[in-house]
Amino acid sequence: MARPKITIVGAGNVGATVAQRLAEKNYYDVALVDIVDGVPQGKALDLSQAGPICGYDSHLAGATSFDVSDGSAVVVITSGVPRRPGMSRDELLTTNATIIQGVVNEVAKRSPDAILVMVTNPLDAMAYVAHRVSGFPKRRVLGMAGVLDSARFRAFIAAELNVSVENVQAMVLGGHGDTMVPLIRYTTVAGRPIDEWLPKERLDALVKRTREGGAEIVNLLKSGSAYYAPSAAVVEMVEAILKDEKKILPCAVRCDGEYGIQGLFVGVPVKLGRGGAEEIIEYRLTADERAALMTSAAAVKELCEAVDRLTAGT
């Protein structure tokens, strides 16, 4: 049986690292597509030459043409531009929404049964655009953010308590931005609630650091943003889908009434399997948690309305 094919659009930091992580699984074939001629071809060739050393036979192909993506089971979309000095949020939104429209048009006609995993920021708005442009059922369009935000929170907690990251369970919901909602009541270390491990001030500090986790890395790197943890998060989602794991992870999916959210892509717990986002799991939330999630959803709504306004007629 042929290996499942995964296309990664955008062979930059996140895309190329996703390609490397997937190739090393020795279970998938990987196609890399980028607009800059030579980059996807060069990175795919370099990665294939690591195969004999790392012990994988994964087939890697790179191209500027989307033909290489034909028949993909999953398409991971990382193409976009970062915000440059002097560029407004609206300009970034318009530029990336235009890129996503073009890319999704191409991949949707070549891989009509694919599951789309969106990565490009602003994440929740780009997932909304991808869903609209592809015409795919909503369970086949997902955004990666919650797995990354939860991993950051888990890493900070593990370091604070000097315990294994494997003991720490956490779920960060909401939009991928300042309004994200770490669910403290559902955060546990070896099954014990986090508030029995840490005083409120320390927990608040870790929540703040999680919210600002992306910016902390941007400030350290000076150019570019995080990609090791983001690529690991993408791969966890892709594997949960293609191995039909039924794993529950926080993902940006379209809510139509769940959690009281209407017609928006927001991070919620989702069961992932071969069908994509097979089920949204509704946790019982307190009034405060629900209010925080609604505030986050309102921020996402504003972005989606801006996308509709800015891309009208394109």
Ligand X SMILES: NC(=O)c1ccc[n+]([C@@H]2O[C@H](COP(=O)([O-])OP(=O)(O)OC[C@H]3O[C@@H](n4cnc5c(N)ncnc54)[C@H](O)[C@@H]3O)[C@@H](O)[C@H]2O)c1
Looking at 6, 8, 9, 60, which residue binds ligand X (CB under 6 A)?
Answer: 9
Residue 13 makes contact with ligand X by CB under 6 A: yes
Identify which of residues 189 and 237 has a Cβ nearer to ligand X in the complex: 237
Residue 276 makes contact with ligand X by CB under 6 A: no
Tokens 């790179």 correspond to 62
Residue whose CB is nearest to ligand X in the complex, by number: 12
Residue 5 makes contact with ligand X by CB under 6 A: no
Whether 250 contacts 280, CB under 8 Å:
no
CB of 128 to ligand X, least distance (A): 14
For residue 60, give the nearest of 106, 103, 24 by alpha carbon.
24
Strand order in the sheet with 5-9: 60-63, 29-33, 5-9, 74-77, 115-118, 141-143, 247-256, 262-273, 276-280
Looking at 44, 117, 145, 171, which residue binds ligand X (CB under 6 A)?
Answer: 145
Judged by CB under 6 A, which stretch of 51-59, 142-150, 154-162, 277-285 contacts ligand X? 142-150
Per the annotation, the verdict on 176 as an active-site residue is: yes
Q: Which residues of 180-199 are buried (b: 16+ CB within 10 A; e: fewer)?
A: bbbbbebbbbeeeebeebbe
Residue 80 makes contact with ligand X by CB under 6 A: yes
Residue 304 makes contact with ligand X by CB under 6 A: no
Beta-bridge partners for 273: 276
Identify which of residues 144 and 203 has a Cβ nearer to ligand X in the complex: 144
Of 176, 254, 271, 301, the catalytic one is 176
Q: Is the dihedral of CA 123, 224, 89, 148 positive or negative?
A: positive
Residue 235 makes contact with ligand X by CB under 6 A: no
Q: Which residues neighbour 178 within 8 Å (Cβ) at sequence distance 6 or greater? A: 211, 299
CB-count exposure of residue 124 (10 Å: 0-12, 13-18, 19+) = buried
Total of chain residues touching ligand X, rule CB under 6 A:
32
Judged by CB under 6 A, which stretch of 218-226, 241-249, 294-302, 304-312 contacts ligand X? 218-226
Looking at 176, 211, 271, 301, which residue binds ligand X (CB under 6 A)?
Answer: 176
Q: Which residues would be at the binding site for ligand X (CB under 6 A)?
A: 9-15, 33-36, 39, 78-80, 82, 99, 102-103, 119-121, 123, 144-145, 148, 176, 224-227, 230
- Residue positions annotated with a catalytic role: 176
